[in-house]
Structure 1
Amino acid sequence: MLLKSLTVVTEFFIVGFPGLPSEFYNLMGTFFFSIYVIIELGNSILEVLFAIEPRLHKPMYIIMLNLALSDFGFCTVALPKLISRYWFNNRSISFQLIHYFGTLNSLIKMIMALDRYLAICFPLRYPALMTNQTMRILAAAAYQVQLSLAMSYTIIVVTVITKTDNQGRLKAFLSCASQVCIISIYYIPRLLVFLKIAIAMFYGLFPPLMNPLIYCFKSTETGQMLLK
């Protein structure tokens, strides 16, 4: 009988900032704790607004809700462990959950790209194609399936560029500007992740921090709800 060696990775260790003096650990833990509270509070507000306001039960807000849930889950898994690295010297973090929520965030953004693609390329058929039920099915599938973002956004860019009407091109750009902003914030730092550890943390923490602000200010309905 042949013996085989099998390694199963269930967790990995957070390095943090190598060389950081121990006297700054409490300060770093407090900094990340503050970010954690702001992120969770912002996403929780969006979730509560969606739950109590029937007017927000539309495809666009359904995907916004799922983005908030994804950010909430990712930060709940990552940030408390990062905080405990500096407060309690606990460096371990779940391998499966980090990759699950990281992939889920990408899938939610893919659905956002698909939503804008249909709105731009098939404006007359969009209300029939992207119903609440369709969006719920897509959001549910995002929790289970790994897909690519590139194709949808490539088609959107080509469609916007090939529009001959300047007004139509501007309208198409504005309709997906917030999604492009979020995708840029999420992926640009990943190109620089190997240069500095601080940039690696930026791409994981900054998008969940900015998502509620971007979508609240962009949406008239959510802005009105917050002012009440």
Structure 2
Amino acid sequence: MSEGNGSAVTEFVIVGFPGLKAKYYGLASAVMFLVYVCTLLGNAIFLMLFTKDRSLHKPMYIIILNLVVSDILFSTTTLPKIIARYWFQAGTISFTGCFVQMYFVHYFGSVNSFVLFIMALDRYVAICHPLRYPMIMTNFNVCMLLATAWLISKAGPMMMVIRAYPLPYCASNRIVQCYCDHISITVLACTDRAPYGFPAFIAAMVVLLVPLAFIVFSYASIIVAVIWIASTEGRLKMLSTCSAQLIIIALYYLPRCFVYLASIVGIKFSRDLRIVIIMLYSLLPPMINPLIYCLRTTEVKQILLKKFRGQRVHVQRQNISTLCN
């Protein structure tokens, strides 16, 4: 028996993509390892810039900083295990370890949703109420909003774990997914899943749709406000300010909405395709986000160029000093 909950399962096995042939395991692990390294490097660059340059200590960049931290932690929670599964054929995970991973998968996913909500709020106030922006979106107020987001995001995942952990798992222990999540675990329970799956589905919808509803409202208001700006240059500047956030939001929400709507209306597609879509919306945004808000944000680009030029000048001076000596 396992963990004192009446289950015959003592550990789970991360299957990953069930249709993937063994000859492609090395390629799959290499791709996911590359994604993980790019995610860590890209987000680490922003962390370094934020730490070193006080000019980035503004509400918008504080929000991005929280997105960066959440992305790093989410990727570190999910990717190493599935990389090990394909690289070293080490797909087993302990019973408790699987539930710990499940908690953090849903927790960091919830944090991301609320951080994107706060990002949309910041842009809404900046463009629709510019005169009140310095009073409303202070660093203190933004930090309080973000702290609230990290705090309330604990509720849903904790409820899922508390309800799913004691269930009897006496059949298969194979997780047909690249990481442990609520659906892939509870489907293995030897009991009626409906009383446990429906509350988790409602919690997921609240975390997904409530922020999304405000995001849609805020950007609709921004578009209306931009239309009323007489200057073409002013319109382009406003739209450029919001375009990076819109890309991030689209990457996060659109694939998730597709998967949930497909399950509601009964659209059927293969397990491998479903897992591919889930992995894309789980792992692509953390890798792409640094490129978006570094390459699309003028201030960050200028700081990067200044750091690069300063480093190059420093290296040249060192070389000249070495030659002279």
TM over 0.5: yes
Deviation at 1:19, TM superposition (A): 2.1
CA distance in 2, matches of 1:169, 1:155: 19
CA distance in 1, matches of 2:238, 2:85: 45
CA distance in 1, matches of 2:12, 2:84: 14
The aligned counterpart of 2:125 is: 118
Question: Residues 20 and 158 from structure 1, CA distance in 2 versus in 1: closer, same or farther, beyond 3 angstroms?
Answer: closer
Task: Write the deviation string for residues 5-36 of structure 1: whole angstroms up to 9, x where unpaired.
Answer: 899xxx97543211211122122111101110
Aligned pairs for 1:2-17 within 5 A: 14-17=14-17
The aligned counterpart of 1:153 is: 215
The aligned counterpart of 2:102 is: 95
Task: Write the deviation string for residues 97-132 of structure 1: whole angstroms up to 9, x where unpaired.
Answer: 111111111111011011111112211000111011
CA distance in 2, matches of 1:190, 1:59: 27
Given that 2:15 and 2:91 are in contact with CA atoms closer than 8 Å, whether structure 1 keeps it comes out as: no
The one-letter code of the counterpart of 2:301 is G
Higher mean C-alpha deviation, range 142-151 or range 158-167: 158-167
Question: Residues 182 and 61 from structure 1, CA distance in 2 versus in 1: closer, same or farther, beyond 3 angstroms?
Answer: same
The one-letter code of the counterpart of 1:121 is C
The alignment's TM-score, normalised by the length of structure 2, stands at: 0.62
Aligned pairs for 1:1-228 within 5 A: 14-87=14-87, 88-92=89-93, 93=98, 94-146=101-153, 148-159=210-221, 160-161=223-224, 163-165=227-229, 167=232, 170-193=236-259, 195=269, 196=273, 197-227=275-305, 228=307
Deviation at 1:203, TM superposition (A): 0.4
Given that 1:33 and 1:83 are in contact with CA atoms closer than 8 Å, whether structure 2 keeps it comes out as: yes
CA distance in 2, matches of 1:154, 1:123: 19
Task: Write the deviation string for residues 61-103 of structure 1: whole angstroms up to 9, x where unpaired.
Answer: 1111111101001001011112122123315441111111111
Given that 1:43 and 1:212 are in contact with CA atoms closer than 8 Å, whether structure 2 keeps it comes out as: yes
Deviation at 1:202, TM superposition (A): 0.5
Q: How many residues align?
A: 221
Given that 2:120 and 2:219 are in contact with CA atoms closer than 8 Å, whether structure 1 keeps it comes out as: no
CA distance in 2, matches of 1:59, 1:12: 42
Structure 2: gaps of 5 or more residues = 154-206, 263-268, 308-325
Question: RMSD in angstroms over aligned alpha carbons?
Answer: 2.3
CA distance in 1, matches of 2:119, 2:14: 31
CA distance in 1, matches of 2:83, 2:118: 32
Larger radius of gyration between Structure 1 and Structure 2: 2
Given that 1:25 and 1:86 are in contact with CA atoms closer than 8 Å, whether structure 2 keeps it comes out as: yes
Structure 1: gaps of 5 or more residues = none
Question: Residues 14 and 173 from structure 1, CA distance in 2 versus in 1: closer, same or farther, beyond 3 angstroms?
Answer: farther
Deviation at 1:152, TM superposition (A): 2.4
Q: SS at the partner of 2:152?
A: coil
Q: SS at the partner of 1:69?
A: helix
Question: Residues 157 and 221 from structure 1, CA distance in 2 versus in 1: closer, same or farther, beyond 3 angstroms?
Answer: closer
The one-letter code of the counterpart of 2:214 is S
Question: Residues 122 and 6 from structure 1, CA distance in 2 versus in 1: closer, same or farther, beyond 3 angstroms?
Answer: farther
Given that 1:161 and 1:169 are in contact with CA atoms closer than 8 Å, whether structure 2 keeps it comes out as: no
Deviation at 1:173, TM superposition (A): 3.2
